[in-house]
Amino acid sequence: MNSVRQWWSLPVDYGWNVAYARSQQALHVTRILIGIFCWFYGAAAAIALTIPGLGDSSLGRLALWWTVVTTLPIGLAWLIGGWPSWRMSIAFVLYADFVLAAVLLTVDEPSEMLPMAALFTVMGSYVVGFHGPKLFTAHHLFAFVTVAVLYASAMVDDPAQRLRTTLYLVMLILVMFSAPLICHSFLMLLRRDATGAFYDPLTGMQNRRGFDAAIGNLDRRPGTDAVVTAVVIDIDNFKAVNDRFGHEHGDTAIRLTASRILDVFPAPAVTVRLGGEEFAVVCLGGLDSVIERSEQLRIRLCDATDRSPLTASIGVAHAVVEARGVEAGIDELLGRADKAMYRAKRLGGDRVAQCSDPVPARPADER
């Protein structure tokens, strides 16, 4: 029972899952495959409309036509659009489950439609890949209820084929529930361990590896250039804090700094502990707004009620990052923000400095 509770409470970051898939160059291919599979659903419904006996009832024909009509634009949206938000992803799962259930329960010949319930496994694979235990459970409970109703209808409608219908049910249980549950359990455990490699254990912020994976998840329109602002934060004279108060208090100060950075720069800004007492933030938006928030952070860090009030040198830089070179563009931007941070430190620290270097022009052959 304790293992079930742990499984149920496993945290799942949909945005991180998407960002990780994008960082491994798998998201684009996955998106295309989902769009094509949507069209296969529509094609299957169109074929069912031509089979005598399957689309005779008015409700059955309506469900099949609805599948044909709606899967065309949804498949196109997957092919040419961006990856959906968390809410849109859940809406897509609900849409697929309800449409499939409507077709299965309204089309005639329930004994012939029962094996088709295995199509729930297709959406189950998507849920396993990007969502957590709660949506996984909801999806499979809905599938189980649909299969139970369909099985009961088949047993009543065709009593002579009860043995075959029961065989279909046993095979469905193996296909729909056993294999996905095993895969989901192992994937969740692997994801939990992998996530630990992407986060700093002291602060809970992303480390550099996690930061690189999350950059692709910035809330920008896919395929378009974006104005991006980078902030690099370095605590002034942190060695003196460790020497005076000890390393345990130094760790507390690092955690407090991280907490205040996250308060001032909440998601969808991407935050990272680069190492030691150095942090970075990357976000979309105007330069003036980010400089204003950087000043707020500088003031909050120097809180007189703290045991050891901190000051920080903060560097800010912004640029238009090209869609085809996001990672390289942001690395370049962070380098410019880092130079601004060191300029603030040379001026005495406890200040925000903006990078005044011109944005380097790209060679003509890179444009």
pLDDT in tens, 126-168: 988 888 888 888 999 999 999 999 999 989 888 888 888 898 8
Nearest one of 196, 355, 207, 315 to 270, comparing CA atoms:
207
DSSP lists the bridge partners of residue 199 as 206
Buried b (16+ CB within 10 A) or exposed e, 178-206: eebeeebeeebeebeeebeebbbeebebb
Please give the model's pTM, rounded to 2 decimal places.
0.60
pLDDT at site 219: 52
From-to residues of CATH 3.30.70.270 in the chain: 208-359
**Residue 97 — φ and ψ, nearest 5°?**
-65, -45
Mean pLDDT across the stretch 210-239? 76
pLDDT in tens, 49-88: 888 876 667 888 899 999 999 999 999 999 998 788 888 9
- Cβ atoms of residues 216 and 23 within 8 Å: yes
CATH code: domain 208-359 is: 3.30.70.270
Q: How far apart are CA 221 and CA 211, in angstroms?
A: 19
Cα–Cα distances (Å) from 69 to 33, 76, 123, 358, in that order, read 19, 12, 19, 52
